[in-house]
Structure 1
């Protein structure tokens, strides 16, 4: 099929459920479709349909399922959808070019179970009437230009299972509930009158309540002005007692949320499987109650301003597969309790202030790791030999720490970095994945986690030649080892050359001595090799020009001697 949506569809007035997804349609929606008044389901996903939604769609009053995902529709979302479609249960309009605000009339769709408006150009604030959608289980508004505070009524959606608001400009408190243990003041910025309610006076969390529009001068500095206090107050008073027992996926990354993670989040959302609030402005401690989310598969808190230790209670998360706490200000050591997280596939603690030794139980107790990222901390001591038990390890990054001693003999068992046949690289789509990915429909969950959903795609930053390369999914797993910028000494082990599936090897800025291994040409898949700023001596092995995939080679600032090869791959580096 292909071309235009046939206008002759108007003759099929008994038509109820046309499925026209992935048909190569490349026209606008004909207004004659309004004559098919018996339509209940209409699917037009993944075509190239353009133009706007016709206002005549108001006549399709029996519609319950409408999906037009991944097309080129423009204009504002027509009000007829919200006013004339009372039976609508699923509305999927993601990945189009819709503009303007989300109409407040959305609150009239009281039978709605699923709402996906992601990947458009919608702006303005999220209407408070969305809290009227009491049956809503799936809400996805990613990748728009939505702003301001979340309406407090959104937390009335007690049936919500999937909530994703990624990549907008939302701000204000992260979640409902108490935000700190020492919170003693509740300010309600409104024009209330009368006495404070008895339950507030008796609640020791809020011993002092102000109902004025301005805090007394003895409480706040003259230069400070509080905004949106009413929303904050509502969250704390009216919603802290609610439990979102059905919520499994909560994604709020890449916004401007601030404040701290509620200390009781583990009790409020006990069944979360995926919790992602990365790339916000969240401060304070990681609450101990996260350890009560025993079903959690993915915990992503990176790119915030969290501080303090990693809670030992995270060791209770026996189903945890993804733990990304990078780019914060966490301190202390990696807690011993994490050795109970035997299903971990990715552990990213990079760019924090963690110290002491890298624990020896990594590899012995947690053997399923694919990615271990500990760069830019203050770890000291030796590289633990337990890493040799990480048979599935693809990316190992211990750069920019204070590690010392020699590089241990840990590489013979790292089978994911070893292959039997010559590699075939295609890095045009710089992406990485954790398991083989069959064809799938990513509209509903996008990222899949074993035990939650089937697969997981993860973004990994790899540093080579002074640049950061971001890898996501590719057809064969990316492999990388980076021990750069430490205090490692001794020679480079010949055993290291067995890693013939390694894409990147960076041992620069250490105190390594001796010769470059003669068998380094066996690392047939190597594209980036950096041995600079060490004390290596001798000649460059004559077999190195046969490393046909090598794109970047840095041997500077060593004590090497002899001729520089001028053949083979060296002519293109």
Structure 2
């Protein structure tokens, strides 16, 4: 996304705030004993052999006051002007390969904790159960570890103020807990590359959620077969490499009026690509490659109002002629229709878009046009014959184009199909071309 996430800002600010022990020492207060105990429990839960001498955790010496003397990894504040003790508001360990469990006391005994990041380490085991997240917690980043088991539903309550949750690249299993929908303030949810199974619970109540990524799991069931599963606030839905099935319904897309990125690559979505997807008022990237789609409906306005910049329908079961409406989409620059069952010729308007050197008042050029692995036939449009390598990326390999020699860079790769596997109309088209070539 274009905006910088809070955890990136936190990572930038923490070194400035944490590497100033003199300022912390000048405060007339010490770390609250319960907070110090929770930090000590966190360090004790990490195997000493996994703590490099140069690491942040190695510098935690509990003979000194954490808020005053720890050079990194924590951030403290005074909850009131006349407070006698400092409270821990952020814990961010460096990705040094720490191995251990997450003690329940870290989640239960730091009532002012706003951010917890253990990302990029080797923490393992199950997350503590029976311990709800503190209402103060805004960012929880456990990504890139080895946590396993089911996510405890007890972590999530309506009192939570959590805004960003990162659990990607772990070994979590079981279902995605429906209690996630209680997180009314959550804006980013990243669960990718785990072992989650079952269907995705309804997240429609999460009216602040704008980014959802559940890629690389084993989730199944319909995702966009009907409205009501996802919240209308979403800008990005990424669900690559799962087992989601069912059709892609126009009504479900209409219920996501702000969505800009829709990536369902590598699932089992079936039926037609609805014309509403091609004319969506906000959608810019639509990636539906490697599914079971069998048709493309025409855009209701011929494609002229489309906001699409990228369209990937590769590796499906699409038949018929190449969709003419794509050539009318003004912002479309990357088109992948390869590895389908398209027949007929290459539209002249496709050739004009890919051969253009610069944008016109109506459209931008195609920078990428992937048509290989279909049953296209007929003559190559003249504008394609004039293409030079180094410009647009184009592939017509593995089609039914006998007049597509390897001297053209876009014909290189897999050879053209044998005539026996091509549609009969392609054979007739070849004979007509030969007749025209022989005419005086």
What is the TM-score when the length of structure 2 is the normalising length?
Answer: 0.71
Evaluate the alpha carbon distance shift between residue 122 and residue 356 of structure 1 in structure 2; reply closer, same or farther with a 3 A threshold.
same
Q: Does the alignment pair 1:149 with 2:38? A: no
Using the alignment, how far apart are the partners of 1:20 and 1:136 within structure 2? 19
Structure 2 residues not aligned, in runs of 5+: 1-13, 30-52, 75-84, 359-365, 420-440
SS of equivalent to 2:204: helix
Evaluate the alpha carbon distance shift between residue 117 and residue 503 of structure 1 in structure 2; reply closer, same or farther with a 3 A threshold.
farther
SS of equivalent to 2:87: coil
Shift of 1:335: 2.5
Evaluate the alpha carbon distance shift between residue 148 and residue 503 of structure 1 in structure 2; reply closer, same or farther with a 3 A threshold.
farther
Evaluate the alpha carbon distance shift between residue 172 and residue 36 of structure 1 in structure 2; reply closer, same or farther with a 3 A threshold.
same
- Is 1:137–1:162's contact at 8 Å kept on the other side of the alignment? yes
Partner of 1:162: 164
Q: How does 1:337-486 map to 2 (within 5 A)?
A: 337-357=276-296, 359-360=298-299, 364=303, 367-411=306-350, 414=353, 419=357, 479-486=367-374
Q: Which moved more, 1:352-361 or 1:161-170?
A: 352-361
Partner of 2:234: 296
Partner of 1:56: 61
The structure whose residues are more often helix, as a share, is: 2
Shift of 1:337: 3.2
Evaluate the alpha carbon distance shift between residue 356 and residue 18 of structure 1 in structure 2; reply closer, same or farther with a 3 A threshold.
closer
Using the alignment, how far apart are the partners of 2:142 and 2:247 within structure 1? 33
Shift of 1:103: 2.1
How many equivalent pairs are there?
362
Evaluate the alpha carbon distance shift between residue 366 and residue 305 of structure 1 in structure 2; reply closer, same or farther with a 3 A threshold.
farther
Using the alignment, how far apart are the partners of 1:300 and 1:390 within structure 2? 23
Partner of 2:204: 266
Aligned partner of 2:187 among 240, 245, 248:
248
Shift of 1:19: 2.2
- Is 1:382–1:405's contact at 8 Å kept on the other side of the alignment? yes
Evaluate the alpha carbon distance shift between residue 414 and residue 320 of structure 1 in structure 2; reply closer, same or farther with a 3 A threshold.
farther
Using the alignment, how far apart are the partners of 1:511 and 1:128 within structure 2? 60
Partner of 1:511: 400
- Is 2:188–2:212's contact at 8 Å kept on the other side of the alignment? yes
Aligned partner of 1:281 among 193, 211, 218:
218
Q: How does 1:299-314 map to 2 (within 5 A)?
A: 299-311=237-249, 312-314=251-253
Structure 1 residues not aligned, in runs of 5+: 1-16, 22-28, 41-47, 70-84, 177-238, 421-477, 537-573
Using the alignment, how far apart are the partners of 1:63 and 1:370 within structure 2? 52
Evaluate the alpha carbon distance shift between residue 365 and residue 65 of structure 1 in structure 2; reply closer, same or farther with a 3 A threshold.
farther
SS of equivalent to 1:53: helix
SS of equivalent to 2:377: strand
- Is 1:504–1:529's contact at 8 Å kept on the other side of the alignment? no
- Is 1:355–1:380's contact at 8 Å kept on the other side of the alignment? yes
Using the alignment, how far apart are the partners of 1:385 and 1:139 within structure 2? 47
Evaluate the alpha carbon distance shift between residue 33 and residue 90 of structure 1 in structure 2; reply closer, same or farther with a 3 A threshold.
closer
Shift of 1:290: 4.7
Aligned partner of 2:16 among 13, 19, 33:
19
Using the alignment, how far apart are the partners of 1:408 and 1:270 within structure 2? 43
Using the alignment, how far apart are the partners of 1:266 and 1:499 within structure 2? 49
Using the alignment, how far apart are the partners of 2:329 and 2:347 within structure 1? 14
Q: Deviations over 1:3-57 (max 9, x none)?
A: xxxxxxxxxxxxxx98289xxxxxxx9xx969963479xxxxxxx9537433425
Q: How does 1:199-238 map to 2 (within 5 A)?
A: none
What is the TM-score when the length of structure 1 is the normalising length?
Answer: 0.56
